[in-house]
Amino acid sequence: MGALLPRLRWPAIAFATKPAALWIEVGAGSFEHAEAIARANPTIGLVACEVFENGIASLLSRIAPGDTDPASAALPPNLRVYPDDARALLRSLPDQSLGQLFLMFPDPWPKARHAKRRFVHPDMINEIARLMPSGAEWRIASDDPTYQNWVCAVFAEQNNFVMAQQTTMRPEFWPATRYEAKAIRAGRQPYYWIFRRTER
């Protein structure tokens, strides 16, 4: 797999063709959601951020099973991997350059003293707002009650995004993930939100 990751790594390898829009997934896990989104939206460029090697290895093993020749791997041409903290990538992007952001089942950091580590945070909301043009979407899913309450509370105290949808039923256009299935089997109820950037 070592020969394959450099062909997917952002920003060292740019998209083969200029995408119609840049989308980012934060904490891609095993990349099921990112891969499905990339394949279903071939005109966009998707950068999936994941710091854990196991998740990246899961993606590479699916698209190149058996460590086959990377030249023949079934690569989504519009998918790139960013194997570091997504915050650094987001802060490097120019204003109004992000068409959509996905945050699927993030680490809840459940203790109050760890709240500053949560990706949904007032400072990060301001940063995402800088990156998004009017109407761009930020989609969030969580199965953790502490994080669910946190999302509602943090977004209630800002005016850069409006809640376009909140549901306990995953929308049909929203790809499933193995973490979601695990949460449901364990009796945890996921929530799904779509927040839309207000008029600038």
Mean pLDDT of 44-57: 88
User: Are 62 and 34 contacting, i.e. CB atoms less than 8 angstroms apart?
Assistant: no
Domain 5-197, second-level architecture: 3-Layer(aba) Sandwich (3.40)
Record the pTM.
0.89
Q: What is the pLDDT of residue 5?
A: 61
Q: What is the pLDDT of residue 66?
A: 54
Per-residue pLDDT tens for 5-31?
Answer: 666 777 757 888 899 999 999 999 989
Per-residue pLDDT tens for 138-183?
Answer: 999 999 999 999 999 999 999 999 999 999 999 999 999 989 999 9
pLDDT band at 56 (very low <50, low <70, confident <90, very high): confident
Q: What is the pLDDT of residue 113?
A: 84
Mean pLDDT, the chain, as a whole number? 88
Q: What is the pLDDT of residue 93?
A: 95
Q: What is the pLDDT of residue 152?
A: 96
Please identify every residue annotated as catalytic: 107
Q: What is the pLDDT of residue 72?
A: 43
Q: What is the pLDDT of residue 6?
A: 60
Percent of the chain with pLDDT over 90: 68
89 has a pLDDT exceeding 80: yes
Domain boundaries, given as residue ranges, for the chain: 5-197
